[in-house]
Structure 1
Amino acid sequence: MSKMSRLEMLKSFTEQEPENPFNWYALALEYKELDLDQSIELFSKLLKQFPAYLPTYYQAAEVFADLGKISEANGIYINGIKLAQSQQNNHALRELKNAYQNFQFENDLDD
């Protein structure tokens, strides 16, 4: 399947089911490989409209960090960790904490 047809398919899913956060998440991930600015726009939409959708936080923080938006990425990691704790999702919590530690180290940040 070509990238464009995959992209068009994912866009159509967001049109058919705009209330399903997974559709927006999949589209944001696809754009992560194609257009980081568009990916950030979609991740921002997810964080605003679907704040309880936990998978967003890890990927969104990574994209923001990749674009040098360090304070935004930092806040996304912190909020994702809090959300994972509140949802008692230990797997996501471990992944977010590990990614956050690496992020802090790479950007010379302290707790």
Structure 2
Amino acid sequence: MNRIERIQEMLATNGKDNFLRHALALEYIKTGEEAKAKELFIAILEEFPDYIGSYYHLAKLLERSGEREQAIEWYEKGMSAAKNAKDQHAYNELQSAYEDLVY
């Protein structure tokens, strides 16, 4: 059984576990299934906007896919969420990636 199958099996019993959903999205990226990863990251963030770690990965995925404006939007949302959560490390990472893209 590969990693994706193992994660999906675990999600079958706990479908809203964001750690597992995030891990699955990262596995999708590794296997080139970026559309599935994008869909999963967006689902996580729409349901749980305070799940800070997914903002960076979603925005980077969008950036790689040439979806610049959407990447900027998700970086901005992530910076706002990180600021609200008082997560300075995540805020700095998002801000750095944002500035690299915008400037």
Per the normalisation by structure 1, the TM-score is 0.86
**How far apart are the structure 1 equivalents of 2:101 and 2:13?**
36
| Count of residue pairs the alignment pairs up | 102
Quick one: which amino acid aligns to residue 2 of structure 2? S
> Out of 36, 45, 48, which is 2:46 matched to?
48
- Which residue of structure 1 lines up, in the alignment, with residue 3 of structure 2? 6
- Which residue of structure 2 lines up, in the alignment, with residue 104 of structure 1? 102
The reply to whether residue 16 of structure 1 matches residue 37 of structure 2 is no
Runs of 4+ in 1 over 3 A off after TM superposition: none
**How far apart are the structure 2 equivalents of 1:104 and 1:59?**
17
**How far apart are the structure 1 equivalents of 2:91 and 2:19?**
19
Deviations 1:47-74 (CA, angstroms, capped at 9, x unpaired): 2122110000000100111111111111
Deviations 1:17-68 (CA, angstroms, capped at 9, x unpaired): 1121111100001101111111111111112122110000000100111111
Per the normalisation by structure 2, the TM-score is 0.92
Q: Which runs of 5+ in 2 are unaligned?
A: none
Single out whichever of 44-53 and 58-67 deviates more from structure 2.
44-53
**How far apart are the structure 1 equivalents of 2:86 and 2:49?**
16
The alignment-based identity, stated in percent, is 30
The structural deviation recorded for 1:13 is: 2.0
